[in-house]
Amino acid sequence: EIVMTQSPATLSVSPGERVTLSCRASQSVSSNLAWYQHKPGQAPRLLIHGASARDPGIPARFSGSGSGADFTFTISSLQSEDFAVYFCQQYNNWPVTFGQGTRLEIK
Amino acid sequence: QVQLVQPGAEVKKPGASVKVSCKTSGYTFTTYAIQWVRQAPGQRLEWMGWINAGNGNTRYSQNFQGRVIITRDTSASTAYMELSGLRSEDTAVYYCARGSISNWPFDFWGQGTLVIVSS
């Protein structure tokens, strides 16, 4: 199965800062890569699919890029409601697999 | 709006089975698949299987083959995941999500059901 590796595990940031997260696949997943936001006690929320397409209603400050095995997720200016765990998912091959997540903490 | 509603928590003894429901609304149930994913404490999300809500076809992860059964009730727009032979390592939050059986992400998720396996 494809192993997804995210970095960093935790990031301490201040509101207004630009944040860039990384997700690497153990083999190519083409552009079949999604990013999700997960807050405690809530349902995960799909932000990006197809590596770079924002889901409807997702603010423009969230963006994704990459293809093949290396992907990047960016929040251009961090808002207070953005502090959460972000995880990537490849859906190119079964079983679908997930990264271990990156936790954004308030600095 | 699309919603997937799960019960909050279940406590089971080792060796028992648990059946978690996922009640959907806001879309045509039979036109999507329902995926099941779990997250054990400190672990990443792990895919368990899916059901095509239209025709009832299923596919399971090798890691759960023989222990998991996913079903659906189209009249209730509800999917179910039953996991048998529970052990302490099955303690986790179990999520259902709307998806597809082909290359597509999981666009709506339930809030998760905490299953605690303890004697």
Judged by CB atoms closer than 8 Å, whether chains meet at A34 and B106 is answered as yes
Distance CA B94, CA B83 (A): 11
Which residue on chain A is closest to B93 by alpha carbon? Answer: A41
* pLDDT tens digit sequence for A30-69: 999 999 999 999 999 999 999 999 999 999 999 999 999 9
Per residue in B31-53, pLDDT tens?
A: 999 999 999 999 999 999 999 99
CA distance B85 to B14: 7
Distance from CA of B52 to the nearest CA of A (A): 15
Three-state DSSP string of chain A: CCCEEEECCEEEECCCCCEEEEEEECCCCCCCEEEEEECCCCCCEEEEECCCEECCCCCCCEEEEEECCEEEEEECCCCHHHCCEEEEEECCCCCCEECCCEEEEEC
Average pLDDT over chain B reads: 96
Q: pLDDT tens digit string along B90-110?
A: 999 999 999 987 889 999 999
Residue B2 C-alpha, separation from nearest chain A C-alpha, in angstroms: 12
Q: Is B68 on the interface with A (CB under 8 A)?
A: no
pLDDT digits (tens, 9 = 90+) for A3-40: 999 999 999 999 999 999 999 999 999 999 999 999 99
Q: What is the largest CA-CA distance in chain A?
A: 38
